[in-house]
C-alpha cells in the first residue's frame, strides 16, 4: 500500500496552472468567522455540558472560572449571530431584491433537489461497487447537508440559547416547561453539531483521500483545474459549454496564503479533534 | 489512675479552685528573696546542713523554699535522668503558687525524703473533675490525664490566663498534641482533627483573629467529661448537635428547629441531618464560599437521591459544578438552609405563592410563567414531564440517526475512494503502485 500522501498539486512550491474561483472573499471570511466562533462555542460549551468531567473544571479554572466561560460563550454566540444575520441579509439581497438567478433553484443553489437524492443513492451504490461514481454539480448533496445542518443548528441552538440567556423575557410567550426543554434542545443539538463537524465534516471535506490532508479551497478561494474537473465535473462542463469558464478564472494562491491557511486549518482541525476526544471520553464515562 | 509520676518533667495539676491555703511560710520565703537556683555544691551542702540542723533542733513543716533549695536547680534530675527541677518563679505565679509543695507531695514529711515518692493525686482537691474524667473517653489514658491538658504541674494558670494550656486560644494546640497528625489519637485509629479544625472558619477566627468566643474543642466536646459521639449524653451525639451549636448560633438553631430536619430529629428520627452533616464537624467552611457550595450539594443528595439526580440535569448544576462561580442556585438557595419546609407550607420559599420572590432573588424580572420552570424536571419521566420527555426523545433520535447514517456513509466512502485511488495509480503506473 502506498502512503497516504497529499493529492498531486498541494505541494511545497507555489502552484502553477489555471485556478478557478469557488468561494468569494466574503464566503471565505464567513467560514472563518463560523469555524472560529464554533470552536469557541464548543470549547466553552462542552465544559458546561460535561461540567463534572475531569477536564471541565480544569479548563474552567484555567480561563478564570465559570464566569469567564459563560462570558466567552455568549461573546462567540453574539458574533456568530451577527454573521448569521449578514448571511440572511445576503441571501435576501441577492435572491429577492436583486433577483439573481441560481440562489433558490438550479444547479448553483443550496436548495436540495431531485438530483441530490439520485446522487446520494448513486454514490452509495458506488461505495459498494454497484455502479459508477455520480457526477456532481457545484454543491454535492453532502455539502448541502453540511450547509443546512449548520443553518438549522444555528436557528435551533441560537434560539434555545437566547431563551436561556433571557429566560424571564422569553417566559412571556413560552410555556413553563419550554424553559426546561430549551436546555435539552440546546445541549443535544450542540452535541450533534460538535460530533458531526469534528468527525463527519472533517473527514468528508478535508481528510478523505481526494482532499487529504485538507481542502484548501475554503481558505484560498480557488482550486486547480484538475481538482475542479475531478470533483465537480458537471459544473465544469456547464461552465465551459456556456463559455463562462473564463469568468471563473482566479489567481493562483500565493505561497504565504497556502502556508497561512495550513496553519489556521490544521489548528482548527487539531482543536476540533481534541474536543471530539474530550467529548467522547466524557460521554462514555 | 491519677498517678503522678514524679519522674515526668512536665508533671502537672488541675486548675480548679484550691481548697487548702497555707501561704504564710511561702510568703516569708519569697520576701527573703532567697532562691536556690544556680547555687554551687558548696552552698547547697551548707544550706542542707543548715536545714538539717534546724530540723534536728525544732521539727517543723518543710516550706517551698526549703524544697527549692535543691529542686530550684534547673539541671536537677532523678536517678533515671528525668528532670525533677521546679521553676520557683513560675510556680509562685501559678494558680497553685500559694500552696506548699507538701500539700500535693503529701508523703514527704521532712528532709531527707525517700528516693521514691508517691505520685501526686490531683483528686485530693479536684474530686469533681476527677469523677467527670473517670467516665469520659480519656479515662483510660496512660499518660497523666490532668497534666496532658493542663501542662506542667508546677506551672498551671487559670483558664482565663493566656499562659494557660487551656486558655481558649491554646486549646486547639493542646488537644492537637494527641488529636493531630502522628498524635496519640492516630495510634488509636482516630482521625487527625487538628489540621481540619485549624483551617476551618472556627479555627480561623480563633487562631487568626484571636476571637475568644470562637468555638474551640471544648466548646462542643466539653472538658473533663468528654463522651463519645455515640453516647446519647454527649453534646456531640447526633440529636444533641443542634443544641450544642445553638449555644452560639441561637438564631440558626431556632430556624433549624422549625424546619423539617429539626422536627424529624426532635421526633427521634436520626436519619435527618444535623448541623455537622452539612457543615462537617471540624473542617467547617464559610458557607458563601465556592468550596463549601461545591461540597455541600452532594451531601443533600446523599438522602435526596432522586432530587439530586434531576438537579444535576439542570443548568443550575452544570454551572455550579464548574466551580469558581458561586451564584448558581444550590439546594438551600431555594429551599432554605435551616428552616427547610415542604412546598405545601405557605411560609416555604418554594410554595407556589412565593416562587416569584424566590426565583426573583437571582432572576430579575421573574414572572408567573417563568416560575413554571421545574428545577427538578425529569426528562426521562413521560408521565411527569411529557413535553420534556418527547423533546428529549426527538433530539436523541435525531442525533443517533444523523450520526449513524453519516458514520456508515463516511466509512464506506473512505474505503471506496482509497480503493479507487490506489487502483488508478496502479493503472497509471504511479510511483507508489
Domain ranges of chain B: 24-119, 127-279, 290-372, 391-433
Query: Do B416 and A64 count as a contact with CB atoms less than 8 A apart?
Result: no
pLDDT tier, A180 (very low <50, low <70, confident <90, very high otherwise): very high
Q: Which tops the pLDDT comparison, B253 or B320?
A: B253
At B326 the pLDDT is: 63
Which range, A62-66, A82-86, B280-284, B414-418, has the best average confidence (pLDDT)? A82-86
Contacts of residue A119, Cβ cutoff 8 Å, sequence gap at least 6: A134, A136, A140, A141
- Do B140 and B153 form a contact (C-beta atoms < 8 A)? no
**Percent of chain B surpassing pLDDT 90:** 51
Nearest residue on chain B to A149, alpha-carbon basis: B402
User: Would you call A189 and B395 a contact, using CB atoms and an 8 Å cutoff?
Assistant: yes
Domains along the sequence of chain A with CATH? 19-283 (1.20.950.20)
Cell numbers found for residue A213: 490532508
Is the distance from CB of B76 to CB of B110 less than 8 angstroms? Answer: no
pLDDT of residue B12: 39
| Cα separations in angstroms, A137 against A108, A232, B81, B84 | 8, 5, 103, 105
pLDDT of residue B45: 61
Check residue A61 and give its pLDDT. Answer: 86
Secondary structure in 3-state letters for chain B: CCCCCCCCCCCCCCCCCCCCCCCHHHHHHHHHCCCCCCCCHHHHHHHHHHHHHHHHHCCCCCCHHHHHHHHCCCCCECCCCCECCCCHHHHHHCCCCCCCHHHHCCCCCCCCCCCCCCCCCHHHCCHHHHHHHHCCCCCCCCCCHHHHHHCCCCCCCCCCCCCCCCCHHHHHHHHHCCCCCCCHHHHCCCCCCHHHHHCCHHHHHHHCCCCCCCCCHHHHHCCCCCCCCCCCCCCCCHHHHHHHHHCCCHHHHHHHHHCHHHHHHHCCCCCCCCHHHHHCCCCCCCCCCHHHHHHHHHHHHHHCHHHHHHHHCCHHHHHHHHCCCCCCCCHHHHHCCCCCCCCCCCCCCCCHHHHHHHHHCCCCCCCCCHHHCCCCCCCCCCCCCHHHHHHHHHHHHHHHHHHHHHHHHHHHHHHHHHHHHHHHHHHCCCCCC
Tell me the three cell numbers of residue B246: 445553638
- What pLDDT does residue B320 have? 84
Q: Which residue of chain A is at minimal alpha-carbon distance from B395? A: A188
* DSSP type of residue A257: H
Asked if B355 and B329 touch (Cβ cutoff 8 Å), the reply is no
Q: Is the pLDDT of residue A212 over 80?
A: yes
| Predicted local distance difference test score (pLDDT) of residue B24 | 39
Q: Are B94 and B157 in contact (CB under 8 A)?
A: yes
- Mean pLDDT computed over B389-401: 96
Alpha-carbon distance of B148 to B180, in angstroms, equals 14
Q: What is the DSSP letter of A210?
A: T
Given an 8 Å threshold on Cβ–Cβ distance, is A200 in contact with B403? yes
Name the minimum distance, in Å, from the CA of B304 to any CA of chain A.
19
pLDDT at res. B49: 58
**pLDDT surpassing 50 at residue B9:** no
Report how many Cβ contacts below 8 Å link chain A to chain B. 162
**CA atoms of A185 and A179, how far apart (whole Å):** 10
Q: Does the beta-carbon distance from A51 to B418 stay under 8 Å?
A: no
pLDDT of B18 over the 60 cut: no
Beta-carbon contacts of residue B402 (< 8 Å; ≥ 6 apart): A149, A192, A196
Would you call B415 and A67 a contact, using CB atoms and an 8 Å cutoff?
Answer: no
Cβ pair B407:A199 closer than 8 A = yes
- For the stretch B72-121, pLDDT in tens is 888 888 888 888 889 988 998 999 988 888 888 888 888 888 888 888 88
Q: Please state, for a pLDDT cut of 70, what percent of chain B lies above it.
A: 83
User: Among partner residues B323, B413, B418, which is closest to A60 by beta-carbon distance?
Assistant: B323
Nearest C-alpha in A relative to B407: A200
User: What ipTM describes this predicted complex?
Assistant: 0.91
Give the global pTM: 0.77
Distance from CA of A246 to the nearest CA of B (A): 30
Question: Which of A163, A168, A194 is the best mutation test for B, with the most CBs of B within 10 A?
Answer: A168
Cβ-defined contact of A209 to B414 (cutoff 8 Å): yes
Chain A interface disruption, residue of B330, B352, B358, B406, most A CBs within 10 A: B406
Give the range among A175-189, B29-43, B117-131, B183-197 with minimum mean pLDDT: B29-43
Give the integer Cα–Cα distance in Å for B142 and B8.
Answer: 13
Contact B283, B199 (CB under 8 A): yes
Find which of B370, B389, B393 to mutate to test the A interface (most A CBs within 10 Å of its CB). B370
Cβ separation B425–A2 shorter than 8 A: yes
Residues of B in contact with A66 (CB under 8 A): 319, 322-325, 328
- Asked if the model's pLDDT at residue B13 lies above 50, the reply is no
Mean pLDDT for chain B? 83
Q: The sheet that has A19-21: what strands, in order across it?
A: A222-224, A19-21, A249-250
Q: Is A2 within 8 Å of B432 when comparing Cβ atoms? A: yes
Residue A145: per-residue pLDDT: 96
DSSP A97-122: IS--TTSSSSTT-SS--HHHHHHHHH
Tell me the C-alpha distance between A250 and A252, whole Å: 6
Which of B290, B280, B293 lies closest to B202, judged by CA?
A: B280
Tell me the sheet residues that pair with A249.
A20
Q: How far is A63 from chain B (nearest CA, A)?
A: 11
Residue B63 CB: number of other CB atoms within 10 A?
Answer: 18
> Which chain A residue's Cα is nearest to B365?
A168
Closest CA to B312 of B387, B396, B378: B378
CA A171: distance to chain centroid?
Answer: 33
Chain A residues whose beta carbon lies within 8 Å of the beta carbon of residue B400: none
Is residue A220 scored above 90 in pLDDT?
A: yes
Asked whether the beta carbons of residue B379 and residue A52 sit closer than 8 angstroms, the reply is: no
Percent of chain A with pLDDT over 70: 95
* Alpha-carbon dihedral B280, B281, B282, B287, rounded to 10 degrees: 40
Query: B147 vs B203, which has greater pLDDT?
Result: B203
Torsion of CA A87, A92, A97, A100, to 10 degrees: 80
Is B387 in Cβ contact with A185 (below 8 Å)? no
pLDDT (tens digit per residue) in B209-264: 999 999 999 999 999 999 999 999 999 999 999 999 999 999 999 999 999 999 99
Any idea what the Cα angle at residue A87 is, between residues A86 and A92, rounded to 5°? 95
Amino acid at each position: 500500500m502506498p502512503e497516504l500522501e497529499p493529492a498531486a498539486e498541494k505541494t511545497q512550491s507555489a502552484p502553477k496552472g489555471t485556478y478557478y474561483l469557488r468561494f468569494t472573499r466574503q464566503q471565505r471570511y464567513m467560514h472563518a468567522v463560523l469555524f472560529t466562533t464554533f470552536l469557541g462555542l464548543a470549547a466553552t460549551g462542552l465544559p458546561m455540558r460535561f461540567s463534572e468531567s475531569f477536564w471541565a473544571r480544569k479548563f474552567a479554572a484555567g480561563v478564570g472560572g465559570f464566569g469567564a466561560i459563560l462570558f466567552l460563550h455568549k461573546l462567540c454566540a453574539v458574533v456568530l449571530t451577527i454573521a448569521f444575520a449578514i448571511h440572511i441579509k445576503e441571501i435576501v439581497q441577492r435572491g429577492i431584491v436583486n433577483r439573481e438567478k441560481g440562489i433558490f433553484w438550479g444547479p448553483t443553489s443550496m436548495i436540495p433537489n431531485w438530483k441530490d437524492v439520485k446522487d446520494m443513492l448513486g454514490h452509495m451504490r458506488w461505495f459498494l461497487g454497484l455502479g459508477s461514481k455520480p457526477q456532481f454539480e457545484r454543491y454535492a448533496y453532502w455539502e448541502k447537508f453540511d450547509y443546512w445542518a449548520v443553518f438549522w443548528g444555528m436557528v435551533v441552538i441560537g434560539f434555545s440559547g437566547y431563551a436561556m440567556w433571557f429566560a424571564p423575557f422569553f417566559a412571556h410567550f413560552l410555556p413553563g416547561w419550554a424553559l426546561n426543554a430549551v436546555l435539552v434542545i440546546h445541549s443535544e443539538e450542540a452535541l450533534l453539531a460538535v460530533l458531526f463537524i469534528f468527525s463527519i465534516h472533517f473527514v468528508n471535506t478535508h481528510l478523505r483521500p481526494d482532499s487529504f490532508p485538507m481542502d484548501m479551497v475554503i481558505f484560498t478561494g480557488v482550486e486547480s483545474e484538475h481538482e475542479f474537473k475531478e470533483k465537480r465535473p458537471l459544473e465544469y462542463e456547464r461552465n465551459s459549454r456556456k463559455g463562462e469558464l473564463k469568468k471563473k478564472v482566479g489567481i493562483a494562491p500565493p505561497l504565504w496564503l497556502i502556508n497561512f491557511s495550513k496553519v489556521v486549518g490544521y489548528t482548527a482541525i487539531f482543536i476540533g479533534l481534541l474536543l471530539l476526544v474530550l467529548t467522547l471520553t466524557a460521554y462514555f464515562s | 489512675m491519677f498517678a503522678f509520676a514524679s519522674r515526668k518533667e512536665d508533671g502537672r495539676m488541675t486548675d480548679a479552685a484550691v481548697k487548702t491555703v497555707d501561704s504564710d511560710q511561702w510568703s516569708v520565703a519569697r520576701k527573703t528573696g532567697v532562691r536556690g537556683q544556680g547555687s554551687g555544691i558548696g552552698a547547697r551542702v551548707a544550706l542542707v546542713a543548715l536545714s538539717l540542723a534546724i530540723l534536728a533542733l525544732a521539727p517543723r513543716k518543710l516550706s517551698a523554699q526549703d524544697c527549692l533549695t535543691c529542686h530550684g536547680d534547673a539541671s536537677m534530675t532523678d536517678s533515671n535522668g528525668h528532670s525533677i527541677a521546679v521553676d520557683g518563679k513560675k510556680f509562685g505565679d501559678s494558680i497553685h503558687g500559694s500552696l506548699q509543695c507538701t500539700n500535693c507531695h503529701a508523703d514527704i514529711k521532712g528532709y531527707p525524703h525517700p528516693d521514691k515518692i508517691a505520685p501526686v493525686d490531683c483528686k485530693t482537691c479536684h474530686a469533681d473533675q476527677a469523677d467527670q474524667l473517670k467516665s469520659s473517653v480519656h479515662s483510660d489514658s496512660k499518660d497523666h490525664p490532668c497534666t496532658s491538658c493542663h501542662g506542667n504541674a508546677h506551672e498551671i494558670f487559670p483558664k482565663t490566663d493566656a499562659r494557660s494550656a487551656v486558655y481558649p486560644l491554646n486549646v486547639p494546640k493542646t488537644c492537637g498534641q494527641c488529636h493531630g497528625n502522628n498524635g496519640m489519637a492516630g495510634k488509636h485509629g482516630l482521625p487527625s482533627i487538628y489540621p481540619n479544625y485549624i483551617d476551618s472558619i472556627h479555627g480561623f477566627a480563633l487562631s487568626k483573629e484571636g476571637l475568644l468566643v470562637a468555638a474551640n474543642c471544648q466548646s462542643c466536646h466539653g472538658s473533663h467529661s468528654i463522651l463519645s459521639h455515640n453516647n446519647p449524653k454527649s453534646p456531640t451525639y447526633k440529636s444533641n448537635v443542634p443544641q450544642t451549636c445553638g449555644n452560639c448560633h441561637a438564631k440558626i438553631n431556632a430556624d433549624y428547629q422549625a424546619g423539617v430536619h429539626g422536627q424529624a430529629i426532635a421526633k427521634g428520627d436520626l436519619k435527618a441531618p444535623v448541623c455537622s452533616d452539612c457543615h462537617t464537624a471540624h473542617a467547617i467552611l464559610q458557607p458563601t464560599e465556592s468550596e463549601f457550595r461545591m461540597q455541600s450539594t452532594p451531601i443533600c443528595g446523599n438522602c435526596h437521591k432522586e432530587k439530586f439526580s434531576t438537579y444535576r440535569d439542570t443548568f443550575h448544576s452544570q454551572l455550579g459544578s464548574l466551580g469558581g462561580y458561586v451564584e448558581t442556585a444550590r439546594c438551600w438557595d431555594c429551599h432554605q438552609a435551616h428552616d427547610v419546609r415542604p412546598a405545601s407550607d405557605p411560609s416555604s420559599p418554594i410554595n407556589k405563592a412565593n416562587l416569584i420572590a424566590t426565583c426573583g432573588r437571582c432572576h430579575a424580572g421573574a414572572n408567573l410563567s417563568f416560575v413554571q420552570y421545574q428545577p427538578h424536571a425529569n426528562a426521562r419521566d413521560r408521565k411527569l414531564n411529557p413535553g420534556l420527555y418527547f423533546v428529549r426523545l426527538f433530539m436523541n433520535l435525531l442525533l443517533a440517526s444523523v450520526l449513524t447514517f453519516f458514520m456508515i456513509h463516511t466509512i464506506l466512502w473512505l474505503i471506496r475512494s482509497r480503493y479507487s485511488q490506489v487502483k488508478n495509480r496502479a493503472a497509471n503506473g504511479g510511483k507508489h503502485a
